[in-house]
Amino acid sequence: QKEVEQDPGPLSVPEGAIVSLNCTYSNSAFQYFMWYRQYSRKGPELLMYTYSSGNKEDGRFTAQVDKSSKYISLFIRDSQPSDSATYLCAMNYGGATNKLIFGTGTLLAVQP
């Protein structure tokens, strides 16, 4: 079993829809949770970074962490065609390494 599970999609939504992306994880030692966006043939770009359980909002993006259920989510409001990309969840233990454990990524297509 992978440490981080993420539905690979693809997920297709109409412009303006609310998008929900999710990851589950198995190791309760994870402390930091991130969402990255990756456009085709580009490196991942950090979108959201959270430490504790609860919600964090940044513009149209909301990251949600539920440590008791080992479940994290990213919500995108008023989705735009420019949001079409692969969304990767990532997490780490907060130790000296700072290495990240990534999910497989969810491919999102927002149709105009």
Partner 1 sequence: DTGVSQDPRHKITKRGQNVTFRCDPISEHNRLYWYRQTLGQGPEFLTYFQNEAQLEKSRLLSDRFSAERPKGSFSTLEIQRTEQGDSAMYLCASSFPSVQTAGGYTFGSGTRLTVV
Residue corresponding to tokens 């008791």: 68
Tokens coding 11: 């997920």
State yes or no: residue 40 binds partner 1 (CB under 8 A): no
Which of 22, 24, 73, 92 lies at the binding interface for partner 1 (CB under 8 A)? 92
Tell which positions 61-90 bind partner 1, by CB under 8 A: 88, 90
Provide the pairing of β-strand 4-6 with 19-25.
antiparallel
- Closer to partner 1 by Cβ: residue 17 or 102: 102
Distance CA 76, CA 22 (A): 12
CB 50 → partner 1: shortest distance, Å?
Answer: 8
Distance CA 112, CA 83 (A): 11
14: how many CB neighbours lie within 10 A of its CB? 9
Which of 22, 32, 61, 75 lies at the binding interface for partner 1 (CB under 8 A)? 32
Contact positions vs partner 1 (CB under 8 A): 4, 6, 8, 32, 34, 36, 41-46, 49, 88, 90, 92, 94-105
